[in-house]
Amino acid sequence: MKSILLSKKHLFLLFLLSMFFISFFMRGVTHEPVQADLVIKNAKIVTIDQNNPRAEAVAVKGEKIIAVSSNQNITRYIKKGKTTVIDACNRLVVPGFNDAHIHFISGGYSLMNLDFRYITDIKIIQKMVKEKVSRSEPGEMIRGGGWDHELFPDKQWPTREILDEVAPDNPVILARTDGHSVWVNSLVLRLSGITKDTPDPAGGTIIRNKKTGDPTGILKESAQNLIDSTKFKKLATDEQKKRTTKALELALEAARRTGVTSIQHLNNHSELFEKFHDQEKLTVRVTFNMWLTDNEETLAQYQELRQKFHSENNWIRFGYLKGFIDGTLGSGTALMFEPFSDDPSTSGLPQMSYEELERKVVASDKNGFQIGIHAIGTRANHWILNAYEKAQKRNGRRDSRHRSEHAQILTDQDIPRFAELGVIASMQPTHCITDKRFAEKRIGLKRCRGAYAWKRLLDFGAQIAFGTDWYVEPIDPLEGLYAAVTRKDRAGEPGEGWFADQKLSMEKAIELYTLGSAYAEFTENRKGSIKKGMLADMVIFNQDLMTIAPQDIMKVKVDYTIVGGKIVYKRNPAE
């Protein structure tokens, strides 16, 4: 018995000795560092990782981050002649920006069309159209956008006669800055058969001359669909494809230059994005959406598309189903509980009945789709929250992350419901500083308390995703960051800002533009922060956004944009 016990003791000691040598050997192996493809050192890194909020250096292997640490520790990942090293010289590094609401191809087109953003003199617009006509053939379409009648001295809607003077023989369609109203010339109205006898369509308005009843040239919301483009001179199919390709190229260039590394794109174009990816020309990660529906055949087609562009794809993914329930504050078509202060004849234009909305939401939710609905006004947001709540009761609660696209004007009662229902407020901070010029005139001071209420939503625990709505607003995230931390117009007005209690810190604004947007598309476990294992999408700025004076935020430049560990943009020092 004693010999057996001794034998067991010897075996145990032998086991311990074996474990020691194995551990010693393995420790030597695991301490051999991985060679990084890219290292950024001597940086001020705002990681958006609450467990490690600041760092000096980051190492990347392939598409992913392998280390976030100090300058001293990062040297072990550098192999001379093999690792690309960026000395940030104490510049700011943040995660790549993820635009949660962007019309990416349309944004590219806007760079090809006439752009009237911030123009206050209608004669300048007229002159620009005239010059474009002089370079075009008779009958050729003239397109443009970005005008805002609230910037004109008289703040009145423009008329067709202004365009007729310079473009009698060319169809002219100019979109208002919000895209929810268009200004057209008489030729467009005539070719489309739009007269004083044409009734307003459901969800749309034809602005008419108060004396004659004739259309003035402004078509709001669904009234835009009355334009019969088949009567206009068409581009050949090949030429149109070339223009769309060019639009995407321009959009990608704009994204690289401004540090946008991910987009949640409206709408589709999945095949074109796939083509660019196959050609190694895609420099943003894309989540694209399709249209909200309750048609079972269409939903089945969406299922197939979702399987092709599945959720684990890091480059092109199927996103949510998009719907519209109202218009905009600028066009006076947002759906409100009470009439507009400056036009008591209307309280907005619903784009469908509540019953239709609920039916589409319940059907799409039942099929497992995420849903995002354009909702600006108080009644619009109330309706979609009700529809999402109905879907939960009918289909059961899941991690659906349904969204309010814009969530601009909310009632006190509905603000807590975002967190309660798990609904994401997909918001665009520049809308605040654009619309505040006329918001109080439209809806009065009291209702404005619930406008662009980022801080109030966050205080109740809601999830917020930031974006731009480009082409409606500029693509540059710096403008959104400026808006979020100042709530002042772009000229830098005096004072504390409009409803200053809703201002955010710079770090929080960056978080909503990165990790917040990633959460909105179910990718917070792979992008939106700078930490080990995450996709290596990062931006290096030439100045420190964390300490810079607010009035200088929009002057800051992107020095590097990095997507998947590859430098896709490097600023020319002369710029």
pLDDT value at 326 more than 50: yes
What lies within 8 Å, CB to CB, of 449 at 6+ separation is 499
Q: At residue 95, what are phi and psi to the nearest 5 degrees?
A: -60, 155
Residue that terminates a domain, selected from 216, 231, 246: 231
Report the side by side order of strands in the sheet with 204-208.
114-115, 142-147, 172-176, 181-184, 215-221, 204-208
As a whole number, the mean pLDDT across the chain is 94
What are the structure tokens assigned to 410, written together?
């909310």
Is residue 390 predicted with pLDDT exceeding 80? Answer: yes
Question: What predicted TM-score, i.e. pTM, was given to this entire model?
Answer: 0.91
Both 146 and 204 in one domain: the answer is: yes
Integer Cα distance of 187 and 208 in angstroms = 16
pLDDT in tens, 479-526: 999 999 999 999 999 999 999 999 999 999 999 999 999 999 999 999
Report the 3 state secondary structure along 499-567.
Answer: CHHHCCCHHHHHHHHCHHHHHHCCCCCCCCCCCCCCECCEEEECCCCCCCCHHHHHHCCEEEEEECCEE
Confidence of residue 3 (pLDDT cuts 50, 70, 90): very low
Render pLDDT for 272-297 as a digit per residue (tens, 0 to 9): 999 999 999 999 999 999 999 999 99
Domain finish residue from 197, 213, 231: 231
DSSP output for 114-140? EE-TT---HHHHHHHHHHHHHTS-TT-
Distance between CA atoms of residues 396 and 388, nearest Å: 11
What pLDDT shows up at residue 233? Answer: 80
pLDDT confidence of residue 297: 97
Examine the domain organization and report whether 190 and 77 are in the same domain: no
Provide mean pLDDT across the span 290-316.
97
Give the pLDDT of residue 22. 54
Q: Which of 231, 246, 277 is the last residue of a domain?
A: 231
Strand partners, 405: 374, 426
SS3 at position 16 = helix
Tokens representing 188 are 């467009």
For strands 371-375 and 181-184, give the pairing.
unpaired
pLDDT in tens, 188-208: 999 999 999 999 999 999 999
Distance CA 475, CA 469 (A): 8
122 and 208 in one domain? yes
Please report, rounded to a whole number, the percentage of residues in the chain having pLDDT higher than 90: 91
Tell me, yes or no, whether 75 lies in a domain: yes
Say if residue 70 is in the same domain as residue 20: no
CATH number of domain containing 52? 2.30.40.10
Task: Output the pLDDT for position 6.
Answer: 46
- Asked whether residue 135 falls in the same domain as residue 199, the answer is yes
Model pLDDT, residue 23: 53
| CA gap 81, 135 in Å, rounded | 53
Q: Is residue 192 part of a domain?
A: yes
With beta carbons less than 8 A apart as the criterion, state whether 519 and 472 touch: no
Q: Where are the beta strands (DSSP E) in 315-402?
A: 316-324, 371-375
Instruction: List pLDDT tens digits, range 403-437.
Output: 999 999 999 999 999 999 999 999 999 999 999 99
Helices (H), 227-348: 237-258, 270-278, 296-308
Percent of the chain with pLDDT over 70: 94
3-state secondary structure labels for all residues of 457-475: HHHCCCCEEECCCCCCCCC
Strands 114-115 and 142-147: parallel
Cβ proximity of 62 and 55 under 8 Å: no
Q: What digits encode the pLDDT tens for the residues 11-46?
A: 555 555 565 555 544 444 445 679 999 999 999 999
State phi, psi for 60 to the nearest 5 degrees.
-130, 135
CA distance 327 to 548: 36
- Residue type at 127? K
Question: CA distances (Å), 32 to each of 25, 76, 184, in order?
Answer: 12, 9, 68
pLDDT at position 24 is: 47
Q: Is residue 225 part of a domain?
A: yes
CA dist., res. 401 & res. 421, Å (int): 9
Cβ atoms within 10 Å of 73's Cβ, excluding its own: 15
Q: Is residue 162 part of a domain?
A: yes
β-strands 181-184, 215-221 pairing: antiparallel
What is the arithmetic mean of pLDDT over 142-158?
96
- Buried b / exposed e over 221-231, threshold 16 CB at 10 Å, is bbbbebbeeee
Instruction: Check if the beta carbon of residue 537 is closer than 8 Å to that of residue 563.
Output: yes
Is residue 62 included in any domain, yes or no? yes
H-helix or E-strand containing 236? none
Residues 446-472: tens digit of each pLDDT = 999 999 999 999 999 999 999 999 999
Binning pLDDT at 50, 70 and 90, where does residue 113 land?
very high
- Please check whether residues 74 and 151 belong to one and the same domain: no
The CATH number given to whatever domain includes residue 142 is 3.10.310.70
197 domain-assigned = yes
| Sheet hosting strand 57-61, strand order edge to edge | 64-69, 57-61, 38-41, 84-87
What gap in Å lies between CA 197 and CA 180, rounded to an integer?
Answer: 23
Q: Is residue 26 part of a domain?
A: yes
pLDDT at 20: 54
Give the mean model confidence (pLDDT) for residues 330-358. Answer: 97
563's enclosing H/E stretch is strand 558-563
Side-chain-side CA neighbours of 447 within 13 Å: the count stands at 21
Residues 181 and 218 in one domain: yes
Residues 130 and 211 in one domain: yes
Torsion-angle region of residue 387: left (phi > 0), alpha (psi -120 to 50) or beta? alpha
Q: Which domain holds residue 218?
A: 104-231
In degrees rounded to 5, what are phi and psi of residue 87?
-85, 105
- What total of structural domains would you count in the chain? 3
Q: Once rounded to an integer, what is the mean pLDDT over residues 171-195?
A: 96
Q: What is the pLDDT of residue 562?
A: 98
Residue 498 included in any domain? no
133 and 203: one domain? Answer: yes
Same domain for 13 and 72, yes or no, is no
The one-letter code for the residue type at 268 is: N
On whether both 49 and 27 belong to a single domain, the answer is no
Residues 200 and 146 in one domain: yes
- In angstroms, the CA 415 to CA 519 distance is 19
